[in-house]
């Protein structure tokens, strides 16, 4: 039987729940319902049991630091998701998109090695169970519009503005 821990952290963008096993994020997002996130985890990784804790240690600390403007704080937190080779690689590529920067779905596909697979890049974001840690909010449509986001376009815009503010301050 596998056990994972979950906790909800209050961020400026709302209640953010994270499911962690052995220090690795399995799922995260703007919900207070861990069962919602549990359903997003690949069946091969899905824990049998979830235990609520008040604090997830370095994960909670990283989230709070990110929220306060240390945009790189979440970069070193390990994430584990399973899918096909392209999607798994594209998630890794997304983690390398600089905070405050935006890429298009076509650019994500190109960076992931399949330049013509912009629809697959969009599907990569749709399948992402680890919001924020795998920053799909940094991907937009070619025309500059936001595209989609599991947790709503208003929240996506808030995240983009948060990162733009602190990325600009860090560059100054």
- 114 and 145 in one domain? yes
CATH code for the domain in which residue 157 is found: 1.10.10.10
Q: Final residue of a domain: which of 74, 107, 125?
A: 74
* pLDDT at residue 167, as a whole number: 87
Range of the domain at 45: 3-74
Q: Could you give the CA distance from residue 7 to residue 72 in angstroms, rounded to a whole number? A: 21
CA angle 13–169–141, rounded 5-degree value: 55
- 126 and 66 in one domain? no
- 93 and 68 in one domain? no
| Greatest Cα pair distance in the chain | 50
C-beta neighbour count of 162 within 10 angstroms: 20
pLDDT digits (tens, 9 = 90+) for 99-137: 999 999 889 989 888 767 768 788 899 999 999 999 999
Query: Phi and psi at residue 34, in whole multiples of 5°?
Result: -65, -25
- 165 and 95 in one domain? yes
* pLDDT at residue 46, as a whole number: 98
- 132 and 167 in one domain? yes
Q: Final residue of a domain: which of 39, 74, 109?
A: 74
- 117 and 161 in one domain? yes
* pLDDT tier for residue 170 given thresholds of 50, 70 and 90: low
- 113 and 135 in one domain? yes
β-pairing, 3-11 vs 49-52, is parallel
- 65 and 142 in one domain? no
pLDDT digits (tens, 9 = 90+) for 128-163: 999 999 999 999 999 989 999 999 999 999 999 999
Q: For residues 81 and 129, is the Cβ–Cβ distance under 8 A?
A: yes
- 103 and 51 in one domain? no
* Residue 79 counted as domain residue: no
* Element (DSSP H or E) covering residue 134: none
* Element (DSSP H or E) covering residue 52: strand 49-52
* Residue 126 counted as domain residue: yes
Two tokens, residue 140: 């937009």
- 10 Å CB burial of residue 91 (0-12, 13-18, 19+) is buried
pLDDT digits (tens, 9 = 90+) for 8-21: 999 999 999 999 99
* Residue 56 counted as domain residue: yes
- 46 and 70 in one domain? yes
Q: Final residue of a domain: which of 74, 103, 119?
A: 74
pLDDT digits (tens, 9 = 90+) for 29-77: 999 999 999 999 999 999 999 999 999 999 999 999 999 999 999 999 9
| Count of the separate structural domains present in the chain | 2
Length of the chain: 172
* pLDDT at residue 171, as a whole number: 64
Two tokens, residue 84: 């096909």
- 95 and 52 in one domain? no
């Amino acid at each position: 039987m596998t056990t994972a821990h979950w906790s909800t952290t209050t961020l400026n963008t709302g209640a953010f729940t994270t499911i962690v096993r052995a220090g690795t994020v399995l799922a995260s997002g703007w919900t207070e319902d861990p069962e919602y996130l549990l359903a997003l985890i690949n069946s091969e990784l899905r824990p049998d049991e979830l235990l609520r804790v008040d604090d997830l240690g370095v994960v909670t600390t990283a989230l709070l630091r990110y929220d306060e403007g240390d945009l790189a704080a979440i970069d070193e937190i390990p994430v584990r998701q399973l899918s096909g080779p392209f999607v798994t690689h594209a998630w890794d590529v997304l983690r390398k998109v600089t905070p405050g920067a935006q890429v298009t779905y076509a650019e994500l596909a190109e960076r992931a090695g399949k330049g013509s697979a912009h629809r697959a890049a969009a599907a990569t974001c749709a399948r992402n169970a680890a919001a924020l840690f795998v920053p799909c909010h940094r991907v937009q449509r070619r025309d500059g519009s936001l595209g989609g986001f599991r947790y709503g376009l208003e929240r996506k815009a808030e995240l983009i503005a948060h990162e733009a503010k602190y990325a600009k301050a860090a560059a100054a």
